[in-house]
Chains A and B, each alone.
Chain A
């Protein structure tokens, strides 16, 4: 009987029930999308910040070279959570005796690590060099092959392309690490690491790296870490404020629609009361109706909300926002709370009125 009344109430007044349900679904969808975005935005923006390059540097203590297995160790610690790239630097002499910084590195890794490098063409064969735009006029103004000398050893290279960064790299020449090591005998002294993750995860990576490479100094790049933390914090706070405003508006929309609906049914209410329904039964009936509406609306809205969040993720970050099912209980509880509230307020007003007055239409 109770269940039949609930079902019939919804079926007979399809229009109003549908509009109440619609409002509920929209509110739940918007709330879900905002909460999903709020939870996920940090991960999304952190990925953007990794384009700034290294947030950890590993250097040999007092300028010494790192142990030969340091790169492998660093790679093991990072374990797919970022990019590592080795750098070895010496001051060599050009053919006309001018000093120049020559670096050895792994081009494939640098390409992933330092994406802001504007490179005309990456070296692909041995004995090819990547020349900084300012260094080019010194070492190879007519694009001819050139020589470097370091402690009596000479290397003969050709320029494969130029690199422009606006910083120190512009005055350097980069060689592939095997070429560099066989020429100078100098091992990498710096490993740059761009590690993904929260500040705690990065601190853990730094700690493990210090343990794995005891002969090295592991330092955070504070410039990047602090800027990142600041921007992320502000963005999240803005999003939180927006989410709070939007959820509040959506909840009020549901509240006003539902209250109107319940108030409209004061005749049903009066008839039931006149037929001898107790206050408890009436409260139970309207509360059950509201809760059912809230639950259905929340679940349907949740599905839509995940869709909206995924679309925003794809449109803005080119990666979908991962659905967070941990959000569902909150949306569900919130929806039922709002619907219950919007049912109980009019009922408590109506309860004080005699059924006869309502049925007479006054």
Chain B
């Protein structure tokens, strides 16, 4: 009898059920999409923030001081210590290798330019442009094109194994060098594949594949420093602590959190004789900006959940209110309050489950659409969210119907059947 009542109610009142179901579906869709966006926004924004540049720097442990003003290196080129280029691929072997989006080694050397019978001292910086690195099964294409995305080249980027160079735009203007010209640098003739514009010190320098710089310096495999771009977690009280002062479990938790400090610590472990440190300008502010954006989207998601809960409640209340006469008839035929309420609540649960399922699927697609159009990468919903979303849908539908059901059940059947209030 009970099942038949519910079944018939769905079969005969298709329009009403469709309206209430649509409201629930829409509410769940919006809620799911917003929750998905909110859970993923930190990661997405972290990637966007990587456009500001590397946040970690690896230098040789026993290095002498840098003597550099405005990009002009006054330190004797062979002075100080170097890292070994062959060790760099170990960066992909660290615990947080998936968080490392790229790295670029740098080796500045002094070169002499011979031109029209005169010589001039210049800085040539050797680096990776887009080099393929493999470590075990891991493959990574890395270089300044990943770590320094604001660098612009008019012309072509040199190949990492070529003997082509880029010339900074101010230097190029001063020397009136064009793309395709040849430069005589330290006894070698090098082709200029493009003009580089960075807005920084590189505008006055020559940038070349690192093998060329090593050859000029006469130290194969030498690297002066490495810029690493990593996705990190905003630093908190634990992140700021010194790992040496930590006890076992605290140390493990610190080690297994992607703080800038702990990633730096692991890089230092991976590369022999190295010192890794966060570049505070990038790493510190990144955390602050990320926290703000995440907080904002979290609060907005709360607003979205609230709005969709309200929409569902309103639709349910209206749907039940329209069925006063039905309630009156049931009561006149002797149905108890409990029996009537349980019919309505069963209907509400069924609606919530169906609407929740459809809404979850629609919300997933909506989130994906938002991710694709704003971030050019999909936002996926963890399936773990489904039970949670369904539970929320059922609770909200219940809460929304409760007041209306109470009112309908209390109504005197005589008034209800006469259609008065």
Q: A40 CA to B199 CA in the complex, in Å? A: 30
Do residues B52 and A260 form an inter-chain contact, with CB atoms below 8 A?
no
- Taking A116-B284, A227-B49, A257-B314 as contacts, is the C-beta distance between A91 and B67 under 8 angstroms? yes
Contact code string A234-254 (vs B, CB < 8 Å = 1, else 0): 110111011101101110110
Decide if A220 touches B67 in the complex (CB within 8 Å).
no
* A2-10, A29-37, A78-86, A140-148: which lies at the interface: A29-37
Is B45 a contact of A231 with CB atoms below 8 Å?
yes
For window 329-374 of B, CB contacts with A under 8 Å fall at 366, 370, 373-374
Q: Is the CB of B69 within 8 A of A91?
A: yes
Flag if B285 contacts A30 (CB, 8 Å): no
Q: Is the CB of A231 within 8 A of B48?
A: yes
In the complex formed, the residue of A with least CB distance to B19 is: A256
Is the beta-carbon distance between B65 and A19 smaller than 8 angstroms? Answer: no
CB closest chain-B residue, reference A99: B67
Contact A118 B318 (CB under 8 A): no
Question: In the complex, are the beta carbons of B311 and A260 less than 8 A apart?
Answer: no
Q: Which residues of chain B from 278 to 299 have any CB-CB distance to chain A below 8 Å in the complex?
A: 278-285, 288-289, 292-293, 295-297, 299
A118 B311 Cβ-Cβ under 8 A: no
- Specify which of A99, A234, A248, A315 is in contact with B48 (CB 8 Å cutoff): A234
Is there a chain B Cβ closer than 8 Å to A168's Cβ?
A: yes
Contact B281 A52 (CB under 8 A): yes
Q: Is the CB of A245 within 8 A of B65?
A: no
Instruction: Tell yes or no: A312 within 8 A of B by CB.
Output: yes
**Residues 260-313 of B at the A interface (beta carbon under 8 Å):** 277-285, 288-289, 292-293, 295-297, 299-301, 303-304, 306-308, 310-311
B51 at the interface (CB under 8 A from A): yes
Measured between alpha carbons, how far is A113 from B358 in the docked complex, in Å?
52
> Is B75 interfacial (CB 8 A cutoff)?
yes
Which residues of chain B are near A231, meaning CB under 8 Å?
45, 48-49, 51, 289, 293
> Is A361 in the interface zone, CB < 8 Å from B?
yes
- Determine which residue in A51, A135, A253 has the highest number of CB atoms from chain B within 10 A of its CB, and name it: A253
Which of B26-34, B211-219, B248-256 forms part of the interface with chain A? B26-34
A312 touches B299 (CB 8 A): yes
Contact assessment for B66 and A168 in the assembled complex, using a CB-CB cutoff below 8 Å: yes
A116 touches B30 (CB 8 A): no
The residues of B that contact A37 with a CB separation of less than 8 Å are 296, 300
Query: Closest A-chain residue to B200, C-beta based?
Result: A223
Contact of B284 with A227 in the complex, beta carbons under 8 Å: no
Q: Which of B75, B150, B278 has the most CB of A within 10 A?
A: B150
Residues of B in contact, count (CB < 8 Å): 71
- Check: A69 CB closer than 8 A to any chain B CB: no
Contact between B310 and A23 (Cβ–Cβ < 8 Å)? yes
Using Cβ atoms and an 8 Å threshold, which residues of chain B touch A45? 289, 292-293
Q: What are the interface flags for A158-198 relative to B under an 8 Å C-beta threshold, 1 for contact and 0 otherwise?
A: 00000011111001000000000000000001100000000
CB pair B199–A222 under 8 Å, yes or no, is: yes
Name the CB-closest residue of B to A26.
Answer: B310
Do the beta carbons of B19 and A116 come within 8 Å of each other?
no
Confirm or deny: A48 has a beta carbon within 8 angstroms of a beta carbon on chain B.
yes
Q: A234-B44, A242-B37, A249-B311 are in contact. Are A134 and B288 (CB under 8 A)?
A: no
Decide: A220 and B199 in contact? CB cutoff 8 A: yes
0/1 string, B5-36, CB within 8 A of A gives 1: 00000000000000100010011001001100
> 8 Å CB contacts to B: which residues of A15-56?
19, 23, 26-27, 30, 33-34, 37, 41, 44-45, 48-49, 51-53
Q: How far is the CB of B147 from chain A (nearest CB, A)?
A: 11
Distance, CA A78 to CA B49, complexed state (A): 27
**With contact pairs A52-B52, A234-B48 given, residues A138 and B374 touching in the complex (Cβ less than 8 Å):** no
CB within 8 Å of A: which of B388-413? none
Distance between Cα atoms of A128 and B321 in the complex (Å) = 79
Query: Bound state CA distance, A250 and B23, in angstroms?
Result: 11
Tell whether, in the assembled complex, residue B26 and residue A138 are in contact, meaning their CB atoms are under 8 Å apart: no
- State the CA gap A19–B404 with chains docked (Å): 12
CB–CB B75/A246 < 8 A: no
* A286 interface residue per 8 A CB criterion: no
Give every chain A residue within 8 A of B69 (Cβ-Cβ). 89-91, 101
Interface residues of A in 196-255 (CB under 8 A from B): 219-224, 226-227, 230-231, 234-235, 237-239, 241-243, 245-246, 248-250, 252-253
Residue B117 interfacial (CB < 8 Å): no
The listed residue (B26, B150, B321) touching A260 by CB distance below 8 A is B321
Q: Does A107 contact B (CB under 8 A)?
A: no
Assembled-state Cα–Cα distance A312/B306 (Å): 15
- Whether, in the assembled complex, B57 has its beta carbon less than 8 Å from a beta carbon of chain A, the answer is yes
Tell me if B143 counts as interface (CB < 8 A to partner A). no
Contact indicator A226/B311 (Cβ below 8 Å): no
For B284, what are the chain A residues with a Cβ–Cβ distance below 8 Å?
116
Could you say which residues of chain B place their CB within 8 Å of the CB of A250? 307, 310-311
Known: A101-B68, A166-B280, A253-B310. A49 touches B304 (CB 8 A): no
B168 smallest CB distance to A (angstroms): 13
8 contacts between A and B (CB under 8 A): A37-B296, A63-B70, A223-B53, A223-B150, A231-B293, A246-B300, A253-B23, A256-B23
Residues of A within 8 A of B (CB): 19, 23, 26-27, 30, 33-34, 37, 41, 44-45, 48-49, 51-53, 59, 63, 89-91, 98-101, 114, 116-118, 134-135, 138, 164-168, 171, 189-190, 219-224, 226-227, 230-231, 234-235, 237-239, 241-243, 245-246, 248-250, 252-253, 256-257, 259-260, 263-264, 267, 308, 312, 315-317, 361
Q: A98-B64, A234-B374 are in contact. List 15 more A-B contacts (CB 8 A).
A: A30-B303, A48-B289, A49-B285, A101-B68, A166-B56, A166-B57, A167-B279, A189-B70, A219-B199, A238-B41, A239-B300, A241-B370, A245-B34, A246-B300, A257-B317
Chain B residues proximal to chain A, CB less than 8 Å: 19, 23, 26-27, 30, 33-34, 37, 41, 44-45, 48-49, 51-53, 56-57, 64-70, 74-75, 148-150, 198-200, 277-285, 288-289, 292-293, 295-297, 299-301, 303-304, 306-308, 310-311, 314-315, 317-318, 321-322, 366, 370, 373-375, 419
